[in-house]
A and B are shown apart, each in its own frame.
Chain A
Amino acid sequence: MITIAFFKAAIIAGTPLLFATLGEIITEKSGHLNLGVEGMMLMGAIIGFQVGYSTNSPLLALLFAAIAGAFGALIYAFLTVSLRANQVVSGLALTIFGTGFAGFVGKSLVGMKMTDEFNYFFRDLKIPGLGDIPYLGEILFNHDIFVYLGYVTAIILGLYLYNTGKGLNLRAIGENPAAADAASIPITKYKYLHILLGGALCGLGGAYLSLAYVPVWQENITAGRGWIAVALVIFAGWNPYKAIIGAFLFGGLDIIGFRLQGTAIAISQYVFDMAPYVATIVILVIVSFRKSKKNAPPKALSEPYFREER
């Protein structure tokens, strides 16, 4: 049952989680806890599907999915950065909005499929050299282009956060906005840009679900993956590199119930359906009682910053 095919499928199931987790990491690094991940993923999923369905162009579909996610993030950013509204409730409102939006737009698309020509874009591409490594090659380097984009995005974000001046500025804003302000970093601009970037990544994660993973439109296609991504941010200690491991681990948990069907293990499928959610709880509890400085959240997370208020 635990075969190469299983691990390969775990990577695919983990890819939408990876995009959403990376999006939320970059958002939280700016000091904003956006609980609208589920909503932004759904907005990206439906807009990506709609655009892909009507234009038959994967690139346009992905572009508009990213824009849709960023649009959701823009509402959140305006409320929490400019109007200093409560971040938790604003994020929840965004999730409700995104769910309604996707349901509304997707009503007439339920059950629709993409053309073979469209699906060809998401075919498996073996990376020469790396793909020939025994076992690992098949698991990691024989995937569709979107999976590779996930690896690359995680590494770029890691380099950006820890090895560039702009990344340092961003982390400074998340840790101590007053000090960053005093160092004349344009805080509002940074916050908006990174919240929007985070939203775009969430939108792409959603689009992978509707365009490549499922790839048929169904209601509530994300099924709580946005929330698992919020938990994965904590699991990964706000570190994009660790997010790769976390996302693929949860990808495996996501599919294990389905894979165990019809095997010798006689446990109800419904119990295994709980696995990703129970695992999220267990892992969050474990992470929270072995806290370390390195894995701590940004200090100013979910505290609104107001220059005149000091």
Chain B
Amino acid sequence: MQFRIVKKAEIGKKKRALIFLGSIFAALFVSGLFLAFLKLNPFQVYIAMLQGSLGSAYRIEQTIIYAIPLLITSLGVAIAFKMKFWNIGAEGQILMGAFLASYFALNYSHLPRPLLLLIMFLAGFVGGALWGIIPALFKTKWGTNETIITLMMNYVALKWVVYLQYGPWKDPNASGFPRIANFAESAVLPELMGVHVGWIIAVLLTILVYFFLNKSKKGFEIAVLGESVNTARYAGVNIFSTVVLAMVLSGGICGIVGFIEASAVEQTLTKDITGGVGFTAIITAWLGALKPQWIVLASTLFAILIQGSSYIQSAFGVSTYSAQLLEAIVLFFVLGSDFFTRYKLIIDCPILSRIKESGK
């Protein structure tokens, strides 16, 4: 008996969706075995996760509040990934966006609310964009590996915010606690239909990024550059400006997340403002095949997963880290399943083929 691997022709959408769904079920199955190993009933746990994330109006609101930063960050990350520019610096870009937005929130709180919020929005974008542009410059000028630079910049941003929180920005009225003062009312995003207006920003950004990637010239150039640098060069794409623009947008969009989280959720700047969203967004962007319409779905599913797992923590005493394990297992299976959309496994087995022959 022998295995052979043959490349498949392009496969249909329906089959692709089936393979994707199959991999999700396989991941749930393996996670179920893991849960069973912990002497828990996987079905009960999964159902409890759904109840914990969607079981009541309040829980749905909480899930949406978590989905907002995840969705926006995934969109930002996807723009860079489309170019095969491995921006894993979303955490740092969120922090720097939050930092710059907080600067205005803390120092210009006397401004009228709409004006201050607009300034903070722009500041968030600029903060993230600056953090995104640095690795882009290094990459285009000297070919410096962007994966490590963006990751190291996460730590630099984190240490910077910690420094502010424990040092110059420490609230003197917090009776010694190392925390930054709460924002004034004028720096807090209002609510609409039970959830802060970040959700409207998320919806608008999804549409904008969709049109940018699919309908604009620059969006097309980013995709070409991602396929092959040489093709892009022959086609006359200005590689420098394309990479820089993509990273301004990628980092800037992540910076907006920093603004939203600081303004609407924490109502101050803290070192924990990202909640690890920068890394989860890498998974959701990839699961959504870097397409905004699918990223919405993937982010929503993951928000349900994460909210649900923080619920089962209290209900079953399972560590929140189990959510991270579950995320990684889902990602492993989806990554692996891609093989079956591209290749065909042929098993050469004399007995099998004889049975097949006689069956005809």
Contacts and interface: CB of A to CB of B under 8 A. Distances in A.
B319 A103 contact: yes
Contact of A99 (B149, B166, B324): B324
Interface stretch (B104-112, B151-159, B240-248, B250-258): B151-159
B49 interface: no
Contacts of B320: 103
Interface in B153-174: 153, 155-156, 159-160, 162-163, 166-167
Given A35-B147, A89-B286, A104-B319, A274 B160 contact: yes
Given A100-B322, A268-B167, A274-B159, 17 more contacts: A85-B338, A85-B339, A89-B282, A89-B335, A90-B335, A92-B282, A96-B283, A96-B331, A104-B319, A104-B324, A224-B151, A224-B155, A227-B151, A270-B167, A271-B163, A277-B155, A281-B149
Contacts of A289: 141-142, 144
Interface in A259-309: 268, 270-271, 273-274, 277-278, 280-281, 284-285, 288-289, 291, 306, 308-309
B311 to A, nearest CB: 17
Given A79-B335, A224-B155, A288 B163 contact: no
Interface string A101-128: 1011001000000000000000000000
A94 to B, nearest CB: 8
Contacts of B279: 92, 96
Interface in B86-106: 86, 88
B194 interface: no
Contacts of B322: 100, 104
Give the bracket for the number of chain A residues in contact with chain B. 35 or more
Interface in A64-93: 75, 78-79, 83-86, 88-90, 92-93
B325 interface: yes
- Size band of the interface chain B makes with A: 35 or more
Contacts of A227: 148, 151-152
Interface of A: 35, 75, 78-79, 83-86, 88-90, 92-94, 96-97, 99-101, 103-104, 107, 224, 227-228, 230-231, 234, 268, 270-271, 273-274, 277-278, 280-281, 284-285, 288-289, 291, 306, 308-309
B275 interface: no
5 residue pairs, one from A and one from B, having the closest CB atoms: A100-B324, A97-B328, A103-B321, A270-B163, A83-B339
B95 to A, nearest CB: 13
A104 B34 CA distance: 12
Nearest to A84: B339
Instruction: Say what secondary structure dominates the interface of chain B.
Output: helix
B286 to A, nearest CB: 5
Which among A83, A84, A273, A289 has the greatest number of chain B C-beta atoms within 10 A?
A: A83
Which of B86, B159, B327 has the most A CB atoms < 10 Å from its CB? B159
B278 to A, nearest CB: 11
B227 to A, nearest CB: 14
Given A107-B319, A270-B159, A309-B7, A100 B152 contact: no
Contacts of B336: 78-79, 83, 85
B145 interface: yes
